[in-house]
Amino acid sequence: MTAQPAVADGQEVLHELMMDLLVKGLIVLGAVVLLVLGAVVIWRRAGR
């Protein structure tokens, strides 16, 4: 039965890709939040 290990390997690869996508998405989300917070601080210090 050579099909079963191939399916298991495919599932492992899919799991790794999904976790990678999740981590990268969280990094991008964190960067956007920091960018917005920085813009708000600069906007308030500029007095506008």
pLDDT at residue 24, as a whole number: 98
pLDDT at residue 9, as a whole number: 83
Over the chain (48 residues), the average pLDDT of each successive run of 10 is 63 93 98 97 88
The token duo for 4 is 């079963």
pLDDT at residue 5, as a whole number: 59
pLDDT at residue 47, as a whole number: 81
